[in-house]
Structure formats: structure tokens, C-alpha cells
């Protein structure tokens, strides 16, 4: 038997299967990008919603490993706690069964036979790819071509291993795996850990099953091992991350190990005591899909009530104490870039968080010129430091995101975000300037006249409203509030001209202290510039 003639087509088929799965998943993700953004909101809900979210995302990106890596990123970034992560991880195990059903559909849906459908799917996808001009057409083409390549890959693998039925040693190896649960589990875990994809590992098992090489009992233990092997990707991803992110990867491993132990005991009892003959017959591709799905759903249902205990065990092993984050820490993680649509939504959330810090700065700046309170001055300076760090971190992350394969709409959204970040950062700069003006007044023991105080208060209030409306317009994507910002900005411009003129008259009549007068004029400039940046934010919302 020429093993090279078997190995080369098998490896080629595996490569085609994995590549087809990836481009199909990428096409699905891009096509569903806008909907996937809203899924992030579910993270604040209960664990049941988390399970559904994990299943939905994994069904789209075709990889529980990728979903779990993304979860590690969320936890590392501090936007998801370990309890929320547990729900998503459980759901990911369910969602990963979709690929197996796609592969086994050649058995329960005859019209999906690779020999018939795969070449047609590829040619249709290529025609759409070459003739379609819109990006949507390209994504649809990727889905269709990926679908075709996936089936061609599985067919190639099955054909390549067909001669192995005549080789007693290979057949006996699977019989041994069926009789020795530990070896079967180790084999499944090892193969999955090496290729870092349980979907691809299940695909390999299904191709061997299609050639009639896999006994039922061996398949059961291998599938359980595959669920353990898929954890390696998240564990490797957590290297160098925070303790709570490592705990998230541990939760995935603990969850799958517990499920494997429970169902291995059940399988051993069934195949050795209750029905020894059941494990000797060959398993089909559809039966593999059924076992894989049943195992993952049953494990999730069974361990769901104990999910908090799994979280506690992972925290204990990882020595985790989920403390509050430094406000200036950028809560974004590069692991999330594996799913650009959700990463973009995370950028939006971080931008809003930065905007809220600036909102607080404006609130503090309203009175600091009159009170000259050192605590308030320190708050403004600390906020500006936090905003600078956030702006730099979010900007760098957004630039990385823009370099990925994202839709034209998402490119435009990233560009809008970069502009909004810049405007918010400049507003924070002007708030810090106000704190410096307060220090100047205190050091020189200067103060405003009652008229100046009244006029300045009006200017600051209108400016604050313009920024608050701008931030709310950005958060809610509200055109109505964005238009209010433009009204306020026009009013602030008119006020600046009017108050400047009146103040100069007071100075010329010696009605106001010169040092305080200079601060008054500088403050007017700061307020007018803040309203300008608020208008810029509003215009970005209107453009979107």
C-alpha cells in the first residue's frame, strides 16, 4: 500500500476543508456584521442569554475556539465578567456542532452530495465574485465558494482514506481506541489541539467514518477528547493576559473535562456492561453529528446550574480577584479583532466611556473658577491624563481594526470614531486649561466681578449643554440631539462675541480686575472651542 498516495490527498483535502470553512465563516460574519454588533448588548443580560449568544456567534464564525479566545479578550479587557463569560463558553460548545451537521448533510439530504453540489456551488460563487460589484455580492460569493470547498475537502479526505479499509492495522487501531476510552479521548484531544479546531477535527472523523473505518465506541471517546483539545487555543491565548482572563480559559477546560468524565463513565458502562455489541458497529457521519450535538447540549444543560461553582473553581485555581479597573486603562483586547464586527462595537463602547469621563470634567469645570478648590483641580488634571491614555489606546486599536477585512460601512464607521475620539480629547484639554485658570486666579488672589460671574456662568452652561447633547447623540445615534448641538453651538458663538465686547468695555472702565479679565477672555475662548468640538461630534453622527 502506497501511503504517500493516501497522505497527500488527505492533507490536501483537510487544507481545502479548513480553508473553505474559514472563508465561508468570514463571509457569514461580514454579511451579518451589523447584527453581530447588537449581540454585544446581550452580554449585560443573564447567563441564558449568554449561552444563546455563544451559540449564535460560534455558529457564524464556525469555531468554538475562536469564540472562547474572543471571550478571553473580553474578560481581559474588563468588559465581561467571569459569570457572563461562563454562559458564552457553554453556548460556544453548542454552536460548534453546526459544522458537523453541514458535513453530514450529504447523508440525510441526498441533493447535497459533494459530487453533485460542491462543484456547482464553487462555480456559482466564482461567477458572483467576478461579476458582482457590490461588497455584499462578494460576501455572498465567499459563503457559496466556502461551502463548496468544504464539501470538496471532506469528499477528498474520505476518498483518500478509502483504501485503509483493507489495512488491518489501521482498522485495528480504531477498534483499540473504542475499547480503551483513555486512548480514544487522548487521540481526539491531541488531534484537535494540533490543528486547533474542533470543527476540523470532527470533519476528519466524519471523513474516516464515511470510509467505514470508525467503530461507534471509538467515535464517542474521540468526540469527547475533541472537546478537551479545543480548549488549547484559548489557554495559549490567555498566556500573558490578566489572571481573570486566564480563569476564563480555565473555565472552558474545566467545563469540558467535567462533561467528558461524566459521559465517559456512562459510555463505558453502556458499552461494556449494558450493550457491548453497540460499540462494535461502524458509525455514520450523521450519527457523529448527533452524538456531538447531544454531548454538548446535554453537558450544557446538566452543568448550567453548577456554572457559578465552575467560575469559583477557575477563580480559585487562577487566584483571581476581580478588582475595579483603572479608569485610564483601555478596555480593549486584540483577541477581539478575530471578530471585527464585535471589536468595532467594543471600540464604540470605549469611546462612550471616554466621553463620559469628559462629561464629568465639564461638570467639575463649571464651578472650579469660582471655588478654586484643589480637589476639583486635581480631578480635572487626573481626568485629562486618563483621557489622553484612553484616546491613544483606542485610536491605535481602531487603526489596527481598520486594516482588517471589514465592510466599507465599517471602514467609514471607524473613520468617524477616530474623529470623535480626537474631538473628545480636545474638549478634555480645554477642561484642563480651565483648571489652570483656576490656579492662576487663586495664586494671584484675583476674582471676577458679579457681572462677569453671571455672564461666564451663562456661557459655561450653554457650552456644557452642547457637549452633553453631542455625547448623547453619539451614544444613541440621535439626529434630533445632534441638531440640538448645532443650535447650541451657534448660540455659544454669538455669546462669545457679545460677552467679549462687553467685557472689554468693563476693562476699559476699570470695572474689572486685569488678571481676572484675562482669565475671563481665555475662558470664553475655551468654551467656544469646546462647543466647536461638540458640533464636530454631532456632524459625525449626522454623516453616519
Q: Which of 20-29, 237-246, 429-438 has the lowest mean pLDDT?
A: 20-29
Domain ranges, ordered by start, for the chain: 3-318, 338-543
pTM: 0.71
Q: What is the pLDDT of residue 306?
A: 92
Residues 165, 166, 172, CA angle at the centre, nearest 5°? Answer: 65
Predicted confidence band of residue 234 (pLDDT cuts 50, 70, 90): confident
Residue 215 has phi, psi (to 5 degrees) of -70, 155
**Cα distance between residue 68 and residue 85, in whole Å:** 9
**Cα distance between residue 458 and residue 472, in whole Å:** 21
Give the residue-averaged pLDDT of 151-162.
Answer: 76
Match domain 338-543 to its CATH number in 1.20.58.220, 1.10.287.3510, 1.10.3720.10, 2.40.33.20. Answer: 1.20.58.220
> What burial letters (b/e) apply to 389-426, b meaning 16+ CB within 10 Å?
bbbebbbebbeebbeeebbeebeebbebbbebbebbbb
Q: Are 14 and 155 in contact (CB under 8 A)?
A: no
41 or 484, which is more confident? 484
Question: How high does pLDDT run on average in the chain?
Answer: 84
**What are the DSSP calls for 450-486, one per residue?**
HHHHHHHHHHHHHHHHHHHHHHHHHHHT-HHHHHHHH
Q: What is the pLDDT of residue 197?
A: 75
Task: Please determine, for residue 425, whether its predicted confidence score (pLDDT) is greater than 90.
Answer: yes
Q: Which of 55-59, 180-184, 390-394 has the lowest mean pLDDT?
A: 55-59
Predicted confidence band of residue 512 (pLDDT cuts 50, 70, 90): confident
Burial class (CB in 10 A: 0-12, 13-18, 19+), 487: middle
pLDDT tens profile 128-146:
888 877 767 877 888 888 8
Q: Are 371 and 442 in contact (CB under 8 A)?
A: no
pLDDT tens profile 309-322:
999 999 888 877 65
Give the residue-averaged pLDDT of 509-530.
Answer: 86
pLDDT tens profile 406-421:
778 888 999 999 999 9
Q: What is the pLDDT of residue 262?
A: 93
Percent pLDDT > 70 in the chain is: 88
Predicted confidence band of residue 151 (pLDDT cuts 50, 70, 90): confident
Q: Are 15 and 153 in contact (CB under 8 A)?
A: yes
Strand-pair partners of 282: 215
**Cα distance between residue 527 and residue 457, in whole Å:** 11
Q: Half-sphere exposure of residue 272, counting CA atoms within 13 Å on the CB side? A: 11
Amino acid at each position: 500500500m502506497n501511503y504517500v498516495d493516501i497522505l497527500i490527498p488527505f492533507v490536501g483535502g483537510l487544507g481545502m476543508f479548513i480553508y473553505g470553512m474559514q472563508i465561508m465563516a468570514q463571509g457569514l460574519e461580514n454579511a451579518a456584521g451589523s447584527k453581530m454588533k447588537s449581540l454585544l448588548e446581550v452580554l449585560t443580560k443573564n447567563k441564558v442569554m449568554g449561552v444563546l449568544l455563544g451559540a449564535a456567534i460560534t455558529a457564524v464564525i464556525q469555531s468554538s475556539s475562536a469564540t472562547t479566545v474572543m471571550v478571553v479578550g473580553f474578560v481581559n479587557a474588563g468588559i465581561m465578567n467571569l459569570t457572563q463569560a461562563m454562559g458564552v463558553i457553554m453556548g460556544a460548545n453548542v454552536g460548534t456542532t453546526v459544522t458537523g451537521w453541514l458535513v453530514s448533510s450529504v447523508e440525510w439530504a441526498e441533493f447535497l452530495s459533494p459530487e453533485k453540489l460542491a462543484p456547482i456551488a464553487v462555480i456559482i460563487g466564482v461567477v458572483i465574485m467576478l461579476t458582482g460589484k457590490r461588497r455584499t455580492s462578494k460576501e455572498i460569493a465567499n459563503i457559496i465558494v466556502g461551502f463548496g470547498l468544504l464539501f470538496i475537502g471532506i469528499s477528498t479526505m474520505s476518498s483518500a482514506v478509502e483504501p485503509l479499509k483493507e489495512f488491518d492495522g489501521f482498522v485495528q487501531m480504531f477498534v483499540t481506541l473504542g475499547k480503551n476510552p483513555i486512548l480514544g479521548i487522548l487521540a481526539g484531544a491531541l488531534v484537535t489541539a494540533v490543528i486547533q479546531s474542533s470543527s476540523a477535527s470532527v470533519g476528519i472523523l466524519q471523513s474516516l467514518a464515511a470510509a467505514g473505518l470508525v467503530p461507534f465506541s471509538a467515535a464517542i471517546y474521540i468526540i469527547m477528547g475533541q472537546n478537551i483539545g479545543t480548549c488549547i487555543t484559548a489557554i495559549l491565548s490567555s498566556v500573558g493576559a490578566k489572571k481573570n482572563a486566564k480563569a476564563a480559559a480555565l473555565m472552558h477546560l474545566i467545563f469540558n473535562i467535567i462533561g467528558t468524565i461524566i459521559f465517559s463513565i456512562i459510555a463505558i458502562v453502556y458499552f461494556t456492561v449494558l450493550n457491548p455489541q453497540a460499540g462494535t458497529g461502524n458509525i455514520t457521519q450523521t450519527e457523529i453529528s448527533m452524538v456531538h450535538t447531544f454531548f454538548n447540549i446535554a453537558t450544557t444543560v446538566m452543568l448550567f446550574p453548577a456554572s457559578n461553582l465552575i467560575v469559583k473553581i477557575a477563580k480559585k485555581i487562577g487566584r483571581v480577584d476581580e478588582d475595579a479597573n483603572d479608569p485610564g486603562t483601555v478596555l480593549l483586547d486584540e483577541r477581539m479583532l478575530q471578530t471585527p464586527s464585535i471589536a468595532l462595537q467594543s471600540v464604540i463602547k470605549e469611546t462612550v466611556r471616554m466621553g463620559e469621563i469628559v462629561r464629568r470634567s465639564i461638570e467639575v469645570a463649571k464651578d472650579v473658577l469660582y471655588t478654586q478648590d484643589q480637589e476639583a483641580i486635581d480631578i480635572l488634571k487626573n481626568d485629562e491624563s486618563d483621557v489622553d491614555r484612553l484616546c491613544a489606546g483606542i485610536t491605535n486599536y481602531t487603526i489596527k481594526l481598520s486594516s482588517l477585512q471589514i465592510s466599507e460601512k465599517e471602514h467609514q464607521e471607524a473613520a468617524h470614531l477616530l474623529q470623535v475620539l480626537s474631538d473628545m480629547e480636545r474638549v478634555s484639554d480645554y477642561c484642563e486649561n480651565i483648571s489652570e485658570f483656576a490656579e492662576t486666579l487663586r495664586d494671584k488672589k484675583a476674582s471676577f466681578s458679579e457681572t462677569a460671574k453671571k455672564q461666564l456662568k451663562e456661557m459655561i452652561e450653554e457650552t456644557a449643554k452642547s457637549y452633553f447633547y453631542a455625547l448623547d447623540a453619539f451614544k444613541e445615534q440621535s439626529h434630533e440631539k445632534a441638531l440640538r448641538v448645532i443650535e447650541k453651538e451657534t448660540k455659544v458663538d454669538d455669546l462669545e462675541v457679545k460677552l467679549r465686547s462687553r467685557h472689554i468695555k468693563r476693562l476699559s472702565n476699570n470695572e474689572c480686575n486685569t488678571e481676572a479679565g484675562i482669565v475671563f477672555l481665555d475662558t470664553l475662548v475655551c468654551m467656544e472651542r469646546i462647543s466647536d468640538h461638540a458640533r464636530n461630534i454631532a456632524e459625525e453622527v449626522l454623516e453616519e
